[in-house]
Structure 1
Amino acid sequence: MLDQITHLFRLQAIFEEGSLRSAANRLNITQPALSRSLAQLERYFGHPLLERHARGVRPTPFGERVLSEALRMQRQWQLAEQSLRHDPALGQTRLRIGAGPVWRASVVPGFLLALEKDFPDIEFELRNTRFSQAIGDLKEGRLDVIFTGSPMLEAEEQRLVSRPFAQVTDHVVARDGHPIFDHAGPDGQIPTERLLDYPWVVYSEIPAYHETARNGLYQLLRQEPRITIQCESLLSTLTVLQRSDHLSILPDATMAAFLGAELRPVRTGLRERGVRANMIYREEMQNWPPLAALIALATGEASAPE
């Protein structure tokens, strides 16, 4: 088995370098030895793993699958090696967490502060992620867990575990003091048509917000909102909201995450959208103590951090 792992790590170098010669130089082995490793893997799997082109080599579709599994195994091997050897030369063990801006600001830091006390030898690395890329990074070991409000597709579920950690409701929001609040009735409800009186800013990182604003209003009023700004950055979206009369749709967790944002929900007849937020991790990682503790905190199976 160890021989196969060695061959797989060599295959990874070939794919990353794009040529056998460069990979052999990087690995400090001869090119014939590297070619033998490749041949052994192709015999073992019964499929070609790379194809040649004018500038070198590239993985076949099956080779891409093998590479993905090799990266996944490499992360497991790295954690096992650090656990067994406790060698400072191997570097500090890291738990790599991916999260969008809302979860990075509101939920995850509290978990990390709690975990830091129980795992002083672990370095917790919190990264900004986009869901479309994060799933690939998770599968291939570049991330160990992600926090997201986006659902997994069925095709992405192989050996990944999704656990809910929060229920989020999306609201129309405006700055405190926005003129739209002058139209509120005794019950605090604002006529839905007033949403058409003001420009909109859309947080475009999550496409559902654009769809809810455009389609939701059209279904109710047969007219689309006037979207004048689209921001990929949540912070930029909040800045526009605070400095103008723009409206937007954002999750309620945003107001908890950015305490200085001074945003208020706008209560209208537009249906609010509920979303289940999930943490997603690789199945084989779930018993690794730092991750197991994080899962327990996030899913309410342990005492929540203060």
Structure 2
Amino acid sequence: MFEKRSDLRKFLAVAETGTVLGAADRIAMTQPALSRAIARLENSFGGKLFERLPTGVRLTEFGATVAEQARHILGEMETAEGAIKSALTGHANGLRITAGPTWMQAVLPEAVARFHDAFPEVELRLHAMTFLEGIRLLVNGESDLHCGRIDVERRLPAILRRESFLDMTSRIVARSDHPLHAGEVTCSDLTEWPWIDCEASARTQDDEDRSPLAELLDEISARTGKHVRTVVRAGPAGLALMGTGPYLSRLPVTFLDRLPGLRLKPLPLEFGVARFRAGLVSRISAWDFAAFRYFAETVRDLARRQRGRLRPITAA
């Protein structure tokens, strides 16, 4: 009946929070998507898992039995995987890493080189993606570590560890030879050039998945009464496009001079400046393995050397 561990985790998240909305926030899903997942499970089992209440949901007698078995299955699988991995050097299946686009180009290349010197037998799998996409993979057991922008307000599942250790600033940027670098820039000027959204989710966007740049473009339209001419929602792949034409975007300036070959620099205006926290989110169980600890600590060390103003590490 249980084809995926992610099905078990979604079901247990609802059981433990008592609301579909609370569970959706906890596991970084949208409420409609989680409701559909629960409906599919109930259809598969042939019985109701939850009783609907005015304030949320509670397990039916049948649902309580399923929840008990689901926790048992997940616990046994985690124990078995840990025993297998502990018998090997490093991390049995390689390390699965996700990162924001600027981190992927500015921080991870040196981290990867150091890691392979120390653990040449361990495979690394790297994927550039947004914070929410990275959290979804972590929650589903499909990733070990996400590096980049951190939402410090979002409640994370107990299986994840958050380290927020770097203050970063994003500004509107363009190639160094862009005409807007020649003089004073107004909001109206920003509507005349094409934009690339490097933080757009690869998934179909809903309100939860809207990128910070999408919100900025809404503000520009509200201020000027004009629509931005062109928006390329390219996600992490958009970073490479920034060096090919007169595009605008908003990117972290902390790592701007470490992006190879792009020749990007901030526009001369204060509008659009955003400050945020960055760091690592990881599966707590991954810290049991020497290879993972080495990689995560190397990424942390390299990132903290950049020009951002640092604060003590906080974990949640």
Per-residue CA deviation, residues 57-110 of structure 1 (Å, 9 max, x unaligned), is 699476589758855863563243133267xxxx95412112232222221222
The separation in 2 between residues aligned to 1:64 and 1:13, in whole angstroms, is 15
Deviation at 1:270, TM superposition (A): 0.8
Match of 2:186 in 1: 192
Say which SS state the counterpart of residue 87 (structure 2) adopts: helix
The separation in 1 between residues aligned to 2:120 and 2:74, in whole angstroms, is 27
What's the TM-score, normalizing by structure 1? Answer: 0.64
Deviation at 1:257, TM superposition (A): 5.0
Q: Is the 8 A contact 1:200 1:229 kept in 2?
A: yes
Say which SS state the counterpart of residue 96 (structure 1) adopts: strand
Match of 1:80 in 2: 83
Deviation at 1:151, TM superposition (A): 0.9
The separation in 2 between residues aligned to 1:16 and 1:269, in whole angstroms, is 43
227-236 or 104-113, larger mean C-alpha shift = 227-236
What's the TM-score, normalizing by structure 2? Answer: 0.62
Match of 1:119 in 2: 119
Tell me which amino acid in the other structure corresponds to 1:131.
Answer: F
Paired-residue identity, %: 18
Bigger radius of gyration: 1
Unaligned ranges ≥5, structure 1: 1-10, 18-49, 184-189
Q: Structure 1 residues 57, 111: closer, same or farther in 2, change over 3 A?
A: farther
Q: Whose helix proportion is higher, 1 or 2?
A: 1
Q: Is the 8 A contact 1:15 1:59 kept in 2?
A: no
- Aligned CA RMSD, in angstroms, stands at 3.9
Does 2:187 correspond to 1:169? no
Match of 1:211 in 2: 215
The separation in 2 between residues aligned to 1:134 and 1:274, in whole angstroms, is 20
Q: Structure 1 residues 103, 68: closer, same or farther in 2, change over 3 A?
A: farther
The separation in 2 between residues aligned to 1:174 and 1:253, in whole angstroms, is 15
Q: How many residues are paired up?
A: 248
Deviation at 1:147, TM superposition (A): 1.2
Q: Structure 1 residues 124, 225: closer, same or farther in 2, change over 3 A?
A: same
The separation in 2 between residues aligned to 1:303 and 1:270, in whole angstroms, is 26
Deviation at 1:267, TM superposition (A): 1.6
Q: Is the 8 A contact 2:95 2:122 kept in 1?
A: yes
Unaligned ranges ≥5, structure 2: 8-39, 51-62, 202-209, 306-316
Tell me which amino acid in the other structure corresponds to 1:212.
Answer: L
Match of 1:289 in 2: 290
Match of 2:266 in 1: 265
Say which SS state the counterpart of residue 295 (structure 1) adopts: helix
